[in-house]
A and B are shown apart, each in its own frame.
Chain A
Amino acid sequence: MKRIGKHLLKLLLTLMVGGFLAATLVRLAPGFGTDEEQLDTRLNSTSLESLNKDLSPKENLATFYVHYAARLLRGDLGMSRTLDRPVRELIAERLPETMKSVVLGLALGWLMGLSLAVVTVMMRSVATDGLFTFLCGVLLCIPAAVWALLFVLARAPERFILALIVLPKIYSYSRNLLTRSAGLPHVLTAYAKGLSRGRIVAWHVFPTAAPQLLALFGVSVSIALATAVPVEALCDLPGIGQLAWKAALGRDLYLLTTLSVLVTAITLVANSGCELLGSMFRAREA
């Protein structure tokens, strides 16, 4: 219990530090405290003065963050300045959308990427290796905006774009990890003893690379979340990625801080979980 408590405390501390750093980056960025409305020629000087007063920060960064943290603990995530709605409502509405895309993207990306890597290792063919590498190179080089356009033209579900962006990264890392594992002495011995390729890969190659693959999985969650921003913005998917883009353009401090805390939480949970599984694997192997 003590260990779990310590772990949760560390998690909380990391989240708070993450939120503070995010708030700092946003607060100090150029354009904070401005709005397009300031260029509205219909507004007279009184209205503009009032608008400027509303836009200018009312408290310094430290005070903002203390108040923000206190409100966060009460479940009040503040008000989005750009969308004029409670942040909690916006996230509750949009998070499921992003989670659908991310889960689907990761599932497909891993399925395809890992499968291609396994096939490469099993077939031990230069041609296959070259072909898959080339395909992944193509996927890596196509901008997200072009993917969005191609998907719209083909009337294909845009959620799959995430999978195509994540796939080449998964393939690259896992291909190299599995290839290295496949060259280890105990694997070569297994080949010499006549075990089937499938058995070798499943029982000897994979377990050796498992901790690194699990670490890669944790990282791929962050990659998928980061990729969701341009994909949702370009494909008009109403998720938190699109929300983050709008918030960034509007320098929406409350929204951006909350989104950063949320992303940090997901990243921490994913990576910690993968680390735990990795250490279990290592213990089992030992």
Chain B
Amino acid sequence: MKKHLLLCVLLLTASLPHQAVGQTGGELRFVLHADPKTFNPLLVEDDPAETVRYLTGGVLIRVNRLTQEATPELATHWKISKDGTAITFDLRPGVRFSDGTPFSSDDVAYTIKQLMDPAMHSPTGDAFRSGEGQVQVKTPTADRVEISFPAPIAGLEKLFDQVAMMSAKSPQKEMAVLGPYYVAENKAGSYLLLKRDPYYWKHDAAGRQLPYVDSVRLDILQNQDTEILRLLRGEIHFVNSLNPEYFDKVASENPGMAKDAGVSLDSEQMWFNQVAKAPIPEYKKQWFRSTNFRRAISESINRQDLARVAFRGYAHPAIGPVSPANKFWFNAQLQAHPFDQKSAMHRLNQDGFQLKDGTLRDRENHEVEFSIITNAGNKYRERMAAMMQQDLAGIGIKLNVVPLDFPSLIQRITQNFNYEACLLGLLNNDLDPNSQMNVWLSSAENHQWNPSQKTPETAWEAQIDKLMREQASTLDENQRKKYYDQVQQIAWDEEPFIYLVNRDALTAVSPTVQNVHPAVLRPQVYWNIEQLSLAQQVAEKH
């Protein structure tokens, strides 16, 4: 059954547009907003390092960013055991690292060993930690490797998309890579130059070695205005992620360049502080713990306006923890909470709140006033907060917007819990709900509204804990979906997170770049980097 499935996947990927043949040569240029913090693919945490990893790293399995399906890369086949605790890979023969060192199962074993080393604290590795016990790796032949985990891991295969193989033998260590490019020059603070890997294994339909483009230059630029100007002048070839204003600007100057791939996986949400020991007044804690209060706030916020005004129409009202862009996992039964201030007042009245002289007061006659913190300098969040301020004023609530610099904000939400409400976003790179375990489990540190609970403080949190654990230990995807749909329903009902909008994936690409098919998953533009090519005259100039 699995073999037939694999065949279908292979046929499907063979027919996709990204197999088009392109011109060779040239240098592709785009921008990184900071220096990568590391070149070790197992320790990647920041965006620039992730970009370098994607461009240089070879993985066993790649998640196709358009279809969201797992496709073979360095592994030609894989098989997951019935109990979900082991995976066996058949490796592609004749593959070499960028320095000529042969790739074999020993390298996979070495990489996995490094990945699972507790001293590494690899964020990628944590996704593979399923339970107590060691991960075992067997290498029966040079082209076959068997990895066994102490407990089943649901969605195992797609996790390997993040694991770039490292060489066990090469003297260049992590700089010897299996991807389409390798790091040739690194001028800190200025640029990174990647050159084509001479040993790259992929070829196009005509038999030509990929990638088409000879080199990739990544300029280090923090200023987005400069980035856009350089794009419009033709000095760089694309911008992987654009803000709405820049998107409109690019679209007005060159309509063909601006590309909206549709709603992304990312969301903007707010939550109330429900931590028992938080240094805020008790009466406010009572408000925040009330489902009616949270639902009322949610119904008082005009999400359509947020999407239309704050994001210039390049966003959609959010429904729940999963964006509709996540085709499989999104619970299609759910709708966005309506903007209905009458219903909101009704809920508040049920909890004893009353509107007196235009001000909402609770049972004990406290004025309903609270603050919302967000990260300063993010103009979209500051806009949303200002709009929510006006919306909530409509039901007599005074909202104080408090932008804070990011370290101060992190300290408040993770250490001293000295805040009332928080507005932040979630950048979602992973489709599988397992990546959200550390958010939904009540004992987890990233259970933002009330982290690290010894036992779940509410029945619905206990229910979410149960469902998340069940979906994590089930291999049947449809059964997992049923569990996770229930989690989404509870999240929708209880609104510990008030989901506001899902942003669109906005990119801009120069018409000189060919074979571009922007996706909503990162990296939106260059996910098929080896297939991208530059128009003939541009390639010849270089």
Interface residues of A (CB under 8 A from B): 30-48, 50-51, 83-85, 93-94, 148-149, 152-153, 233-236, 238, 242, 246, 249-251
**Given A35-B410, A36-B410: A93 and B188 interface contact (C-beta under 8 Å):** yes
Contact of B133 with A by CB under 8 A: no
A85–B35 alpha-carbon span in the complex (Å): 12
A39–B411 alpha-carbon span in the complex (Å): 11
Contact of A44 with B411 in the complex, beta carbons under 8 Å: no
A6–B500 alpha-carbon span in the complex (Å): 65
Interface residues of B (CB under 8 A from A): 34-35, 37-38, 45, 118, 121, 123-124, 126-127, 129, 188-190, 220-223, 225-226, 229, 405-411, 414-415, 426, 430, 435-436, 438-439, 443-446
**Given A37-B45, A236-B222: A42 and B189 interface contact (C-beta under 8 Å):** no
User: Which listed residue, A34, A50, A148, touches B411 by the CB 8 Å rule?
Assistant: A34
Neighbouring B residues of A249 by C-beta, 8 Å = 405-407
Contact of A152 with B229 in the complex, beta carbons under 8 Å: yes
Contact of B407 with A83 in the complex, beta carbons under 8 Å: no
**Given A31-B411, A41-B439: A84 and B38 interface contact (C-beta under 8 Å):** yes
A262–B44 alpha-carbon span in the complex (Å): 32
Neighbouring A residues of B406 by C-beta, 8 Å = 31, 36, 249
Neighbouring A residues of B123 by C-beta, 8 Å = 37, 40, 42-43, 47
Q: Is the interface of A mostly helix, strand, loop or mixed?
A: helix
- Output the least CB separation between A230 and chain B (Å): 12
Neighbouring A residues of B35 by C-beta, 8 Å = 83
A-B residue pairs in contact (CB < 8 Å), sample of 16: A30-B407, A31-B411, A35-B410, A40-B45, A41-B426, A42-B123, A42-B430, A45-B444, A47-B126, A48-B445, A84-B38, A94-B189, A236-B221, A238-B220, A246-B34, A249-B407
Residue of B nearest to A45 (CB): B445
Most chain B beta-carbon neighbours within 10 Å: one of A43, A148, A235, A238: A43
- Output the least CB separation between B204 and chain A (Å): 34
Contact of B220 with A236 in the complex, beta carbons under 8 Å: yes
A62–B522 alpha-carbon span in the complex (Å): 45
Neighbouring A residues of B436 by C-beta, 8 Å = 41
Neighbouring B residues of A43 by C-beta, 8 Å = 121, 123, 126, 438, 446
Residue of A nearest to B118 (CB): A46
Most chain A beta-carbon neighbours within 10 Å: one of B221, B415, B443: B415
Neighbouring B residues of A51 by C-beta, 8 Å = 121
Contact of B121 with A47 in the complex, beta carbons under 8 Å: yes
A249–B189 alpha-carbon span in the complex (Å): 17
Residue of A nearest to B443 (CB): A45
- Output the least CB separation between B335 and chain A (Å): 26
Given contacts A38-B445, A236-B226, A249-B405, 5 further A-B contacts (CB under 8 A): A32-B411, A37-B123, A43-B123, A46-B129, A238-B220
Contact of A153 with B229 in the complex, beta carbons under 8 Å: yes
Residue of B nearest to A238 (CB): B189
Contact of B405 with A44 in the complex, beta carbons under 8 Å: no
Contact of B414 with A34 in the complex, beta carbons under 8 Å: yes
A35–B426 alpha-carbon span in the complex (Å): 16
- Output the least CB separation between B149 and chain A (Å): 14
Contact of A41 with B435 in the complex, beta carbons under 8 Å: yes
A235–B229 alpha-carbon span in the complex (Å): 13
A236–B225 alpha-carbon span in the complex (Å): 11
- Output the least CB separation between B207 and chain A (Å): 39
- Output the least CB separation between A155 and chain B (Å): 9
Contact of B407 with A31 in the complex, beta carbons under 8 Å: yes
User: Which listed residue, A39, A42, A83, touches B435 by the CB 8 Å rule?
Assistant: A42
Neighbouring A residues of B229 by C-beta, 8 Å = 152-153
Neighbouring B residues of A236 by C-beta, 8 Å = 220-223, 226
A238–B190 alpha-carbon span in the complex (Å): 7
Neighbouring A residues of B443 by C-beta, 8 Å = 45
Residue of A nearest to B429 (CB): A42
**How many A-B contacts if CB must be within 8 Å?**
102
Contact of B37 with A83 in the complex, beta carbons under 8 Å: yes
Residue of B nearest to A31 (CB): B407
A242–B190 alpha-carbon span in the complex (Å): 12
A39–B406 alpha-carbon span in the complex (Å): 11
- Output the least CB separation between A45 and chain B (Å): 6
Neighbouring B residues of A40 by C-beta, 8 Å = 45, 123, 446
Neighbouring A residues of B221 by C-beta, 8 Å = 236
A234–B444 alpha-carbon span in the complex (Å): 38
- Output the least CB separation between A167 and chain B (Å): 23
User: Which listed residue, A35, A93, A152, touches B189 by the CB 8 Å rule?
Assistant: A93
A83–B415 alpha-carbon span in the complex (Å): 24
Neighbouring B residues of A45 by C-beta, 8 Å = 438, 443-445
User: Which listed residue, B121, B188, B414, touches A50 by the CB 8 Å rule?
Assistant: B121
Contact of A42 with B407 in the complex, beta carbons under 8 Å: no
Contact of B225 with A149 in the complex, beta carbons under 8 Å: yes
A33–B414 alpha-carbon span in the complex (Å): 11
Neighbouring B residues of A85 by C-beta, 8 Å = 188
Contact of B188 with A238 in the complex, beta carbons under 8 Å: yes
Residue of A nearest to B187 (CB): A238
A30–B225 alpha-carbon span in the complex (Å): 30
Residue of B nearest to A158 (CB): B226
**Given A43-B123, A93-B188, A238-B189: A152 and B411 interface contact (C-beta under 8 Å):** no
A72–B93 alpha-carbon span in the complex (Å): 53
A94–B430 alpha-carbon span in the complex (Å): 37
Residue of B nearest to A51 (CB): B121
Most chain B beta-carbon neighbours within 10 Å: one of A42, A47, A83, A246: A42
A30–B439 alpha-carbon span in the complex (Å): 25
Neighbouring A residues of B38 by C-beta, 8 Å = 84
A249–B33 alpha-carbon span in the complex (Å): 15
A184–B409 alpha-carbon span in the complex (Å): 57
Query: 5 tightest A-B contacts by CB?
Result: A31-B407, A238-B189, A34-B410, A30-B408, A31-B408
Neighbouring A residues of B127 by C-beta, 8 Å = 42
Contact of A234 with B37 in the complex, beta carbons under 8 Å: no
A51–B121 alpha-carbon span in the complex (Å): 8
Residue of A nearest to B430 (CB): A42
A179–B99 alpha-carbon span in the complex (Å): 71
Residue of A nearest to B126 (CB): A44
Residue of B nearest to A85 (CB): B188
**Given A41-B439, A43-B123: A84 and B225 interface contact (C-beta under 8 Å):** no
- Output the least CB separation between B138 and chain A (Å): 25
A234–B226 alpha-carbon span in the complex (Å): 9
Contact of A148 with B414 in the complex, beta carbons under 8 Å: no
Neighbouring B residues of A152 by C-beta, 8 Å = 223, 225-226, 229
Contact of B189 with A39 in the complex, beta carbons under 8 Å: no
A248–B45 alpha-carbon span in the complex (Å): 20
Residue of A nearest to B31 (CB): A236
Residue of A nearest to B189 (CB): A238
Neighbouring A residues of B126 by C-beta, 8 Å = 42-44, 47
Neighbouring B residues of A38 by C-beta, 8 Å = 410, 414, 445
User: Which listed residue, B220, B223, B407, touches A34 by the CB 8 Å rule?
Assistant: B407
- Output the least CB separation between B159 and chain A (Å): 10
Neighbouring B residues of A233 by C-beta, 8 Å = 222
Neighbouring A residues of B410 by C-beta, 8 Å = 31, 34-36, 38-39
Neighbouring B residues of A42 by C-beta, 8 Å = 123-124, 126-127, 430, 435, 438
A140–B406 alpha-carbon span in the complex (Å): 30
